[in-house]
Structure 1
Amino acid sequence: MMHFKTPVLDFCIVFSFVAVGFAESMCNYPWIKFSGHCYMFGVDKKTWFESKVACNTKNAYLATVETPKENDWIIQQLFALSKESYFWIGGNTLRKVGDWIWESTNEKIGYTFFHPTEPNDPTKERCLFYFLHDKKAYYWGDGACRGKLGYICEKIK
């Protein structure tokens, strides 16, 4: 009897250790981990406001893209994961025309990746999105917040 219990106990301890380590290092599907954050790419089309609510109900927020490294990673994911061309992120000028802030923090947007022709309509297009230009490269653009696009949620892991 004693000989049988020891291997079973050892197996349980090892399995428990591996399961905990795996859960701590990964984001749960459909979330993808990058640099201590988890990202989800929603392809069901929503307005910017609906996208914000969809992220909030998942204890997340519309993505804030704060560095070139994060921007490059998101663009790689967009090319790899989706055939969609437009995705909302968390920037907006809803409080003041031309004053771009992140919705999750109300902080002014520092790093930007606007297409050279964007932003192009500051009084009517007040929400920030990624768009695929000439099927070659993603950029940021300003869009009418009521347009229905995909969206990117982010949360801290």
Structure 2
Amino acid sequence: MKTLLLVLALAAVCSGWQGCTGGYINIAGGCYRFHQDWETWWHAKKVCSSENAKLVSVLTYAQYNGLLAHMNGNYPGTYWTSGAVISGHWTWTGTGGSMNPNWWGWKNGNYADHCAYFCSNTLKYWSKPCSTKLRYICEKH
């Protein structure tokens, strides 16, 4: 029995599987939590931080497709991401990386008081004033 458990544990490590806890689920190799309470972008960022997580930064097609598929199948709607305008450019504040311009719903302006959110219906990012209350996605890696 111990040998079987060891083999299963090694297989999980070698395959990149991550055990997600505390309401987080595994999507594309990361752990994500889809919060259903409505908060401003700044408050959502604080809640994620209190969970040792960050607002979601979508860097790969696997994340993009996996998150949108999960949202559409379970929690359709709009969700804050970590996207915000930093020094005049849309940036993932969770990682510092640039946002993929192909995933925007329109040519987006660089409004300093706007933050990016995901829309499950359009499968795109959009922006609203950061003071708007939306649901949000936290991620752990």
Shorter-chain TM band: 0.7 to 0.9
Aligned to 2:62: 69
Q: Residues 112 and 126 of structure 1: is their aligned pair in 2 closer, same or farther, counting only changes over 3 Å?
A: farther
Structure 1: where are the runs of 5+ without partners?
1-10
Distance 1:76 1:43 in 2: 17
State the shift of 1:54 in Å. 0.7
Q: Is the 8 A contact 2:28 2:62 kept in 1?
A: no
Based on CA coordinates, which of the two structures has the bigger radius of gyration?
A: 1
Q: Secondary structure at the match of 1:109?
A: coil
Distance 1:27 1:82 in 2: 18
- Aligned-residue sequence identity (percent) comes to 23
Opposite residue 90 of structure 1, the aligned amino acid is S
Aligned to 1:96: 87
The answer to whether residue 85 in structure 2 is matched with residue 106 in structure 1 is no
Distance 1:154 1:21 in 2: 24
Q: Is the 8 A contact 2:48 2:55 kept in 1?
A: yes
Q: Is the 8 A contact 2:27 2:67 kept in 1?
A: no
Q: Is the 8 A contact 1:42 1:151 kept in 2?
A: yes
- Match for residue 34 of structure 1 among 5, 27, 33: 27
RMSD: 2.6
Opposite residue 153 of structure 1, the aligned amino acid is C
State the shift of 1:23 in Å. 9.0
Opposite residue 150 of structure 1, the aligned amino acid is R
* Residue pairs, 1:1-157, within 5 angstroms: 13=2, 17=6, 25=17, 26-83=19-76, 85-93=77-85, 95-97=86-88, 99-110=89-100, 112-116=102-106, 118-119=107-108, 122-123=110-111, 126-132=114-120, 136-156=121-141
Aligned length: 137
Q: Secondary structure at the match of 1:137?
A: coil
Q: Is the 8 A contact 2:45 2:54 kept in 1?
A: yes
TM-score, L = length of structure 2: 0.80
